[in-house]
Structure 1
Amino acid sequence: MSAPAHDDARAGAGAAAEPVADRRLHPMSWLFVLVQHLRQYIVPLLILIFLGRGDRNELYSLIGVGVLVLFSLWRYFTYRYGVGANGLVVRSGLLNRSLRVIPFVRIQNVGVHQTVLHRLFGVAEVRLESAGGKEPEAQMRVLKLADALALETLVRRRGGDPAQAAEERADSLLRLSPAEVLRLGLVSNGGLILVGAGLAAIMQSVPDFNGRVPERMLRVGVRWLFGRVEGYHLDAAGYALLAVAGIVFVAAALKGLSMTLALLRYYGFELSEQGRRLTAERGLLARWRTTVPRRRIQAWTLEEGVLHRLLRRRRLAVDTVGGDEHEDGRALKELAPIAAPAVCDGLIAHLLPHARWDALPWQALPKAVWWRLFLPDLPWTALAVFIAYWQVGEWSLLALLWLPWSAFKAQRRARRMGYAMDAELIAVREGWWRRYWRFAELDKLQVLQITRSPLDRRCGTATLWLDTAGAGALGPPLRIRFLPLDEAQRLYERLAASLAKRPLRW
């Protein structure tokens, strides 16, 4: 845990000056700290034990496990926390002592996490996050579940608006039934991602996997498959049907895995509102509970793919300040992992009552920009034809059939591109095969930028970038592309003048 900043100490001086009763973590907290440290070593260790070549001298590295046990016990006996009038006081260390005072008003996100092991012991991990950085202000492994929920309630009461402090009633905004969670697994690609990550981990851990192992597995698999089907004396059409059936089977297996993962992660999902804070709780075996103030939501994203449209569903995601986008899904990133379009619109209308999302004046971009979307496919297609020519000869020209489809797709995308702006909100929309709408309140904008590529200067166009705090690198950008230069400059000046009159809201 990092040393306290000077402003934190001054802000929490009142809390530190009072007698604060020291509280220990749960007596089994050392076990969870140990498990956390061993997570990155457990897979190589199991591979070494079960797939090793008999050289047990390599197991001397288990001495490091004993060192980690001592470190975990040391952390338990030297870690204390207490609750003051204005903040949370955390003491740690014995030789190198640290005192950190965290004002309640600085704590923005409260995360309560339970794995299967946590639930067996009736405990939970608590993360207290601020708007400032990627690392949590405090991370407590672990507290009794009742103490964790009491701490969450305490932060909500003392860190919010005093006028809202007495408000205790929580209103449920969205619940996902098991059927909805299964639909979520059907539209997601979690199974494919998991299989790919597993293969990558094995390739890094198993000796010679990149060499002899895949070749041997492929040879054995092909020999077994042809041994099973050669007795049927299939013709070319039969083998083609068999190949199609194999592809369908693999796709169905991956979708089944995706649905299983969705049940594990999103079973019992509930989004509730208490005062000015939103709380999301989910999980079948492990449970996640995340609380964040509504004012910390910086930008919104509506998404729908082809399967979403077939099922008449969408996904509503948000960017929040204070959460790490790479932190194992613990930050509040989704208000509705899957829901009907009317439900998503209702959530937006409830949480942004002045934005009038359903009545935005959308402005379409010139349809002639479709060739700008089509242009990047030309060099890649030519490169694919050139590489394939050395393998299959004139058959490589079949790759040129991609170009008509690419042109059709670019025209469809150009028809859907657009932007909208009113007194409260600015929004963009893009995509055709996979569509998204991204929008933010004007008060949440932090940076405006106009960029022009050489092709933009040739065509007299520009791209207007709109940046907010908490924007993730993996999400769709908040930008307006292919704007005529004069229109981009007018929109930029209008936004800049609007921002100059408004205080920045976090």
Structure 2
Amino acid sequence: MSDNPAEPPVAATPHDTVPHSWPPQPGVDTEPRQRLHPLSPVLHGAKSLVVVIAGLSWSTLSRVGFGWFAAMVAVLALGATVLSVISWYNTGYHVVGRELRVHEGLLWRRTRAIPLERLQAVEVVRPLLAQLTGLAELRLEVVGGGKTEAPLAYLGVADAARLRERLLALAGRVAQPSAPDAAVPSTTAGPAPAVVPGRPLHAVRNRDLLVSQLLTPQAFLLPFGVAFVVVQFLTAGSWSFVAVASTVTAMAGVLLQPIRRVLDDWNFRLGRDGATLRVHNGLLETRAQTVPLERVQTVRATWPLLWRVKGWLRLRLEVAGYSLAEADDRNRPDRLLPVGDLPTAATIVAEVLPGVRLDALALTPPPPRTRWVHPLGRGALGAGLFERVFATRSGLLTRQLVIVPYARIQSVRVVQGPVQRRLGLATVHADTAGGAGAAAEDRDVAEAWALAAELTARAHAARLR
């Protein structure tokens, strides 16, 4: 039973399975079962083809020859496409009352009932192949789900937008109609930036995004790595294919993170639609995400070392109800500002946490004896209690400021390590729902216990408002 008396009863969890002939409830409007877009099997088959080719590898090609290799790929791709067609034919969805029901399976049929009361967000995701064919995928975030629900791949862009707004409205998250992406991006010009519905807050310049990723350790040290490889090649006289391939692979791995961030945050747009943040971003894979403000647990501001030259920082969120165990962190709606200056960040934080000024949070440092634990980084530590939030600061090379509203604090802990006990220090942790929370590191023991008591009292008072 829910602890919240105002919360409506939930009939099923997102992962419940029910008989295929599960009858609709009496008096509940039903609608015909809808199928996914007819091109869905083609896209799934194309994805399977890529996996097949990668799995066969170059060693298979060298052993069997190009002809047999092409025949193997064709047979496996055909089989994957046939299976995708069968899966598409037996997959359907419809809305029954306040539930989205997804039917799938041939031999073992299954119906997933997703209670819309538990729905947090419906994301419109468009991978590259979906953009080329004018399709989109719906991914559902549900409270208590073990992972991001992705039952509807693929739909037409207009159909996906309409269904998304309908589900959000039924879930009680009224939203303005979404502006769909361009149906099919032009092959000669880049797609036009999507317009985020609601009130626009900020749009990140792609030039700043590129420069920010050039000011990372990976990009900064890459020329030195290339020079080292060239010197080794010239002194050794020649390299084997394995050595060259290994070197190229290692360099690609180093550059993967900044390149991925550029692709993910391209054309980043942030808007506010009532009590919901709307985020649109992505180049090869576009995403339209919603973030309910009442689910925001913490706001994190990070100043990487090389970004301080330009006065840049980035903002991230922790949102309750989303899948922290998701293997792909791109599914998490944690992006608030990929790169920007302090005035821009302060404006955005004031929208997310009303009454909080990012540029006016004066934090107190730990006692001087903390230098025995942090000989160089004592000045980077700090903590403070403010009217609405608890804030902490940490990090020597990469500075980080964590802001936690009192109403989001679930528990408070005082922790002492062996060195801290000898120095009379302790760390105070303010834990949030499913997140890392905030930690005031290395405070005086008496101050730590007083801080913990004050945090507990303020959290209790904030939840009663």
Same fold (TM over 0.5): yes
1:268 aligns with 2:267: yes
Preserved contact between residue 98 and residue 116 of structure 2 (Cα < 8 Å): yes
CA distance in 2, matches of 1:182, 1:15: 57
Over 3 Å counting, the alpha-carbon distance change for 1:108 and 1:60 in structure 2 is same
The partner residue of 2:105 within 81, 84, 93 is 93
| 1:425 maps to amino acid | V
1:155 deviation in Å?
A: 2.6
What SS does structure 2 have at the residue aligned with 1:285?
coil
1:15 deviation in Å?
A: 9.7
CA distance in 1, matches of 2:420, 2:139: 46
Preserved contact between residue 279 and residue 288 of structure 2 (Cα < 8 Å): yes
| 1:445 maps to amino acid | I
2:368 maps to: 367
The partner residue of 2:392 within 417, 421, 428 is 428
CA distance in 2, matches of 1:495, 1:178: 40
CA distance in 1, matches of 2:432, 2:356: 17
Over 3 Å counting, the alpha-carbon distance change for 1:495 and 1:161 in structure 2 is same
1:22 maps to: 33
CA-based RMSD: 3.9
CA distance in 2, matches of 1:294, 1:124: 25
Preserved contact between residue 203 and residue 268 of structure 2 (Cα < 8 Å): yes
2:145 maps to: 133
After the TM superposition, which residues 140-219 of structure 1 pair with which residues of structure 2 at under 5 Å, given as runs? 140-160=152-172, 170-188=198-216
1:209 maps to: none
2:305 maps to: 306
| 2:396 maps to amino acid | W
Q: Deviations over 1:62-111 (max 9, x none)?
A: 86655533432222011111134423222222432222332323111222
Preserved contact between residue 111 and residue 289 of structure 1 (Cα < 8 Å): yes
1:278 maps to: 277
CA distance in 1, matches of 2:284, 2:26: 38
Q: Deviations over 1:281-306 (max 9, x none)?
A: 12223212212211222111101122
1:342 maps to: 343
Over 3 Å counting, the alpha-carbon distance change for 1:70 and 1:221 in structure 2 is farther
1:433 deviation in Å?
A: 1.9
Over 3 Å counting, the alpha-carbon distance change for 1:490 and 1:91 in structure 2 is same
After the TM superposition, which residues 482-493 of structure 1 pair with which residues of structure 2 at under 5 Å, given as runs? 482-493=442-453
| 1:449 maps to amino acid | R
1:452 maps to: 416
| 1:180 maps to amino acid | D
2:135 maps to: 123
Aligned residues: 414
CA distance in 1, matches of 2:286, 2:308: 30
1:498 aligns with 2:462: no
| 1:116 maps to amino acid | L
Preserved contact between residue 428 and residue 438 of structure 1 (Cα < 8 Å): yes
After the TM superposition, which residues 33-52 of structure 1 pair with which residues of structure 2 at under 5 Å, given as runs? 33-37=44-48, 40-50=51-61, 52=63
Over 3 Å counting, the alpha-carbon distance change for 1:129 and 1:192 in structure 2 is farther
Q: Deviations over 1:19-66 (max 9, x none)?
A: 222110011112333445565554232434445576969996986655
CA distance in 1, matches of 2:26, 2:49: 36
| 1:363 maps to amino acid | T
1:456 deviation in Å?
A: 2.0
Over 3 Å counting, the alpha-carbon distance change for 1:189 and 1:432 in structure 2 is closer
TM-score, scaled to structure 2: 0.77
User: Of the two, which has the highest radius of gyration?
Assistant: 1
Over 3 Å counting, the alpha-carbon distance change for 1:462 and 1:161 in structure 2 is same
Over 3 Å counting, the alpha-carbon distance change for 1:27 and 1:57 in structure 2 is closer
Over 3 Å counting, the alpha-carbon distance change for 1:3 and 1:415 in structure 2 is closer
Q: Deviations over 1:341-390 (max 9, x none)?
A: 110011001221133444435221113212213xxxxxxxxxxxxxxxxx
Which segment drifts farther, 117-126 or 50-59?
50-59
Preserved contact between residue 192 and residue 254 of structure 1 (Cα < 8 Å): no
CA distance in 2, matches of 1:504, 1:71: 54
What SS does structure 2 have at the residue aligned with 1:329?
helix
CA distance in 2, matches of 1:14, 1:189: 59
Preserved contact between residue 426 and residue 448 of structure 2 (Cα < 8 Å): yes
Preserved contact between residue 367 and residue 415 of structure 1 (Cα < 8 Å): no
CA distance in 1, matches of 2:128, 2:26: 35
Over 3 Å counting, the alpha-carbon distance change for 1:182 and 1:220 in structure 2 is closer
1:274 deviation in Å?
A: 1.2
Q: Deviations over 1:393-414 (max 9, x none)?
A: xxxxxxxxxxxxxxxxx33x10
CA distance in 1, matches of 2:233, 2:340: 46
TM-score, scaled to structure 1: 0.71
1:471 maps to: 435
CA distance in 2, matches of 1:266, 1:297: 20
Preserved contact between residue 90 and residue 99 of structure 1 (Cα < 8 Å): yes
| 1:497 maps to amino acid | A
1:109 maps to: 121
What SS does structure 2 have at the residue aligned with 1:20?
coil
After the TM superposition, which residues 187-266 of structure 1 pair with which residues of structure 2 at under 5 Å, given as runs? 187-188=215-216, 222=232, 224=234, 261-266=260-265
1:352 aligns with 2:364: no
Over 3 Å counting, the alpha-carbon distance change for 1:41 and 1:435 in structure 2 is farther
CA distance in 2, matches of 1:346, 1:434: 22
Over 3 Å counting, the alpha-carbon distance change for 1:52 and 1:262 in structure 2 is farther
1:416 deviation in Å?
A: 2.0
1:448 deviation in Å?
A: 1.9
Preserved contact between residue 190 and residue 257 of structure 1 (Cα < 8 Å): no
Percentage identity across aligned positions?
A: 25
The partner residue of 2:403 within 439, 464, 467 is 439
| 1:368 maps to amino acid | R
1:32 maps to: 43
Over 3 Å counting, the alpha-carbon distance change for 1:311 and 1:360 in structure 2 is closer
Over 3 Å counting, the alpha-carbon distance change for 1:356 and 1:36 in structure 2 is same
1:481 maps to: 441
CA distance in 2, matches of 1:367, 1:15: 70
Over 3 Å counting, the alpha-carbon distance change for 1:83 and 1:469 in structure 2 is same
Q: Deviations over 1:133-180 (max 9, x none)?
A: 232344211011111111222233232356x78999611111112222
What SS does structure 1 have at the residue aligned with 2:330?
coil
Preserved contact between residue 370 and residue 442 of structure 2 (Cα < 8 Å): yes
1:429 deviation in Å?
A: 0.3
CA distance in 2, matches of 1:254, 1:292: 31
What SS does structure 1 have at the residue aligned with 2:364?
strand
1:297 maps to: 296
2:382 maps to: 418
Over 3 Å counting, the alpha-carbon distance change for 1:253 and 1:71 in structure 2 is closer
